[in-house]
């Protein structure tokens, strides 16, 4: 969410009515999330000036660890230097820390492509935004889910009950510090996740939603603490249940 919001902001800056705007003091502390959108808190160091040049050799974009040769345009300006500077700073301050770890395994190759392409400045802001929007579509639609044997058949469903939320085993990246609360596309994906975790014996798909509209599923190691809830359903591993317990 943070990276996508940042890319949308940089897309606007690259195509603003004032021209391409560069953030000269590009640091994480210069941004804040407001209603799920990243905002710039200080525009004192924003500029529309692009580096003047006489030849291509005047247009090297230097960073502490990398340098990029750019073209000198016919009007004597380094082509795209403001856009590229913003994008590489987004890569080194945000993408490298957030993208590799925050998506389902099937989507990580797509994010790695974005990471590598922006790190080498092979993508401009237009291509970067398009790539992010593609990943978002795959994520929201569930199209990233590989066809595999159904996992819900391994579970008994109890309609009209939910689990008591309390401290339980931890997982990453959990939406709760008390236990394992993850975003899922469906109960089927939740069952696959539960099967992949040795501690998990039961789960419930809650009514809570993430910013993408996906529900949150709560995974627990014990299915014994159940309370009535007409709008809920608990899924319990068949191997964890018995006729006596139920």
> Catalytic positions, please?
25
CA-closest candidate to residue 85, choices 118, 110, 111, 117: 118
Query: Phi/psi of residue 231, each to 5°?
Result: -100, 10
Sign of CA dihedral 136, 142, 143, 148: positive
- Of 102, 55, 46, the closest CA to residue 77 belongs to 55
76 and 68 Cβ atoms separated by less than 8 Å: no
Give the burial class of 17: count Cβ atoms within 10 A of its Cβ; 0-12 exposed, 13-18 middle, 19 or more buried.
exposed
Tokens standing for 139? 């994520």
Check residue 98 and report its DSSP letter: H
Check if the beta carbon of residue 209 is closer than 8 Å to that of residue 231: no
User: Using CA atoms, how far apart are residues 135 and 95, in angstroms rounded to an integer?
Assistant: 14
Backbone angles phi, psi at 68, to 5 degrees: -130, 125
Q: Locate tokens 């068949």: which residue?
A: 238
- Estimate to the nearest angstrom the gap between the alpha carbon of 61 and the chain centroid: 28
Rounded distance between C-alpha atoms, residue 24 and residue 203, angstroms: 48
Q: Give the pairing type, strands 46-47 and 215-220.
A: unpaired
């Amino acid at each position: 969410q943070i990276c996508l919001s940042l890319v949308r902001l940089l897309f606007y800056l690259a195509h603003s009515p004032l021209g391409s705007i560069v953030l000269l003091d590009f640091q994480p502390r210069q941004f804040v999330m407001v209603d799920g959108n990243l905002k710039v808190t200080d525009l004192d160091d924003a500029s529309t000036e692009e580096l003047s040049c006489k030849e291509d050799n005047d247009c090297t974009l230097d960073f502490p660890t990398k340098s990029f040769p750019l073209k000198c345009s016919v009007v004597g300006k380094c082509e795209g230097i403001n856009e590229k500077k913003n994008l590489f700073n987004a890569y080194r301050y945000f993408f490298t820390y957030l993208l590799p770890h925050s998506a389902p395994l099937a989507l990580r190759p797509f994010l790695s492509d974005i990471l590598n392409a922006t790190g080498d400045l092979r993508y401009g802001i237009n291509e970067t935004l398009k790539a992010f929007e593609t990943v978002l579509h795959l994520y929201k639609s569930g199209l990233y889910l590989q066809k595999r044997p159904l996992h819900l058949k391994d579970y008994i469903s109890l309609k009209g009950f939910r689990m008591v939320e309390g401290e339980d085993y931890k997982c990453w990246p959990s939406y709760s510090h008390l236990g394992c609360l993850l975003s899922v596309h469906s109960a089927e994906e939740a069952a696959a996740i539960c099967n992949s975790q040795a501690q998990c014996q039961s789960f419930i798909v809650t009514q809570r939603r993430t910013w993408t509209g996906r529900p949150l599923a709560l995974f627990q190691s014990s299915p014994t603490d159940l309370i009535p809830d007409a709008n809920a359903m608990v899924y319990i591993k068949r191997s964890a249940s018995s006729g006596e317990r139920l």
